[in-house]
Structure 1
Amino acid sequence: MYVQSTEEGNTTPYLALDQMTDNPFHLGEDHSKVSPMLTLAIGILSDEQFYIISLFMIYVSQIINICAIIANSLCLAVFVKLGFSEPSNISLTALAVCDFTLAVLSTWSNLCFWLTYHDVRLPFHSAKVSYLTGGIQYAFLSTTVAWVTAFISFERCLCILVPLKVRRLITPRGTFVAMLIIILLTFCPSFFTFIRYKFVWVFNSYLNRTILNTSPVNSKLAILLEKISFAICGVIQPLLAFSIVLICTVLLVVQLKKISSWRMSVTSTKSQWVQLAENPGASSSASEARISQKEERLVRMVVAIATIFIVSYIPTCIALLCFVVFDEFNMFGVYRRLFTVSGYMLSLGQPISGSVNILIYYKMTSKFRSVFRRLVRLDRQEQERQDLE
């Protein structure tokens, strides 16, 4: 790790994230001679605090990313074996693919920063290159995850509200097309970033060699496209998807409570068919309850997935608002340290959600549990244990 001596004789770690100097192992300039207000604005955290927090978050994030990669790989294997005749399998597969890709992108970014922190002389500027090849894609793909979750929640709402019509409204082909449209509108605009920034080879005086770096394209069209894509895909779409998930989750919870209460009242008095014979007007409610009882576990599973998403996505919504309100709250602004640390913290939410989903599927879906146990050969191990006993 590169260190710089201070006037007091201490050594202060300077990290490999500086965007203003030729030294890629230097986060910020020496602020000992600037005003306290400017130091506060640029630093927020001291060099040593920033180094410790960043390195700790990288280690934690990498562990969670590995868990997410393994978990979503198993989910994809199970869904492939289950087939895609059910619309829910298609949307859940899309969610697993997005979570897997997010974990891979986060792993790549963390690896770049980790190598730089340990003074590995990379042939490229790690902060800028990983930002364009991982960070931007991660941000846009998070929006894709939000919309896929919103679609899953909306689909389950239709199953509760209009159970007799949902099979005509939600079909496997329609779900597949919906997933493609979501990806097209949320993730593909991330490539507009390469209109605003380009890769260039520059000579680095600190390393005394040419390295791969990035350079902004200051044309009016490039700047306009960046602003539009960020406003739509970086702010409006995530907040709108979050709102849809929140509303649908509330509706699902309310409807589940109503149906559970109705079922309990029917069970406590007479059988369902006797109730229908005496009160023909209740046939609609009874039909709804029968259908909901058949899919109740799937609905509860969706509620669990949506709830975890809501909890993990709230910090992201706050960060998006800060990104809009504060002009310098970005990778290249004066608040870059605070932005970097908050980025580490926010990057934990999505992988945690992706890692936990497999536990929800296993607990609440018998088909998933059965295929998963055969996939990892748990059933065979139990059978062999019983044979030995």
Structure 2
Amino acid sequence: MYVHSGEEENTTSYPALDQMTENLFNIWDNDSKESPMLTLASRILSDEQFYIIFLFVIYTSQLINNCAIIANSLNIAVFVKLGFSEPSNISLTALAVCDFTLAVLMTWSNLGFWLTYHNVRLPFHSVNVSYLTGGAQWAFLSTTVAWITAFISFERCLCILFPLKVRRLITPRGTFVAMLIIILLTFCPSFFTYITNTFVSVFNPYRNVTILDAIPIYSEFAILFEKIYIAICGVIQPLLAFSIVLICTVLLVVQLRKISSWRLSVTSAKSQRVQSEENPAASSSAAEARISKKEERLVRMVVAIATIFIASYTPTCIMILCSVVFDTFHLFGVYRRLFIVSGYIVSMGQPISGSVNILIYYKMASKFRSVFRRLVRLDHQE
């Protein structure tokens, strides 16, 4: 294991963890060993502290992922039974499918670290291979979730602001096409990872065998291409989606308050007729502002979903900004340990959001609640 420059070697032995650091993370290059800043950063989080925190985070992350897998499996089953005649069912189903897939990909990534920690002998490099076949896709799919949430929020925002015009445009077919476009633009670029990385057979000195490994491709084209698609898909896209969700959620909350105030001001049908006769323009404006109880419940549910997303995705956005501002805060930078631990901690936000959504649907959507209760046999009626 790497020993801090100018310090005595730690006599505590971590065989599996040594392998994880030296061989699997592959980030202890000779040029950085003498760096004073690296020594300072290592003191911030020592070897033993790093591994204790990292393993705790992985086990906690997997517990949350298990909840997300179960919750979104139920969400998908309920929405399939509800059908897709309503555009909102299509977008919410797409959101549930992506949340389910995110939890599965993170489970696969966690498994890679777990197998390495317990020194399980496999014919492939468990951390590197699981990252290239799961972790990288997870990063892109989290952006897909962000954009689907942005679409749902933006669509509800348009419906409540311009109800008479937008309802004609938002159809099940249009929503389905929108979901496909979002997936194509946000998740499909994850396969660009295989342009800048490749699978090779390498000799593992720890086991004295040749195994399958995943390594980056060091070429001018690969490096330039990686910088471009990471800047677009890893920085611009998630931050833009987060901004759209935030703005639309604020607008929805403001508009809901206006509608609630308007409903309180109209106490009878007689007062509505008087208002119409005295001020036709005000009546027309009120008619546009007025939405059905069903639509209002749907908007409130979307606000709840968006609020949970904002709370869970804010740490991710902060980490993205930090990695952009501080060039030493990344996987191969000086503060690599803090980056790894922070990345796993903020990644828990997505499965938490995906797990909580089912509670929002159950509480605020009567049809969902009815089908859910029949699905899990809480109601015995056919």
Q: Is the 8 A contact 1:64 1:352 kept in 2?
A: yes
Greater shift after overlay, 80-89 or 318-327? 318-327
Q: Deviations over 1:62-115 (max 9, x none)?
A: 111000000000000011011111111111011001100000011111111112
Paired residue type of 1:186: T
Cα distance change on mapping 1:376 and 1:250 into 2, 3 Å: same
1:13 aligns with 14
Letter paired with 1:87: P
Letter paired with 1:11: T
How far did residue 35 of structure 1 move?
6.5
CA 227–26 in structure 1, closer or farther in 2 if over 3 Å, else same: closer
| Contact 1:330/1:336 (8 A) holds in 2 | yes
Contact 2:201 2:212 in 1 (8 A): yes
Count of aligned pairs: 378
Aligned to 2:185: 185
Q: Is the 8 A contact 1:313 1:349 kept in 2?
A: yes
Distance 1:173 1:324 in 2: 39
Instruction: For 1:1-389, list aligned pairs within 5 A.
Output: 10-13=11-14, 16=17, 21=22, 23-24=23-24, 37-42=37-42, 44-267=44-267, 271-273=271-273, 275-380=275-380
Tell me: CA distance 1:241–1:368, structure 2 relative to 1, closer, same or farther (3 Å): same
Structure 2: distance between partners of 1:39 and 1:248: 45
- Counterpart Cα distance in 2 of 1:128 and 1:56: 20
Counterpart CA distance in 2 for 1:261 and 1:17 is 63
Cα distance, 1:198–1:17 mapped onto 2, change above 3 Å: farther
Deviates more, 1:208-217 or 1:140-149: 208-217
Q: Distance in 1 between matches of 2:151 and 2:25?
A: 44
Q: Which amino acid aligns with 2:170?
A: I
Per-residue CA distance 1:340-387 (angstroms, 9 max, x = gap): 10111011100000000000001001111111111111111xx79xxx
Change (3 A) 1:328 1:224: same
**What letter is aligned with 2:14?**
P
The unaligned stretches of length 5 or more in structure 2 are: none
Identity %: 78
Report the Cα offset of residue 169 of structure 1.
1.8
**Which amino acid in 2 is paired with 1:98?**
C
Secondary structure at 1:203 match in 2: strand
- Give the structure-2-normalised TM-score: 0.91
Mapped partners of 1:231, 1:36: distance in 2 = 29
User: Tell me, which stretches of 5 or more residues in structure 1 are unaligned?
Assistant: 385-389
- CA-to-partner distance for each residue in 1:298-334, whole Å, 9 max, x for gaps? 0000001101111111111111112223334333344
Deviates more, 1:221-230 or 1:332-341: 332-341
Taking only aligned residues, the RMSD between alpha carbons, in angstroms, comes to 2.8
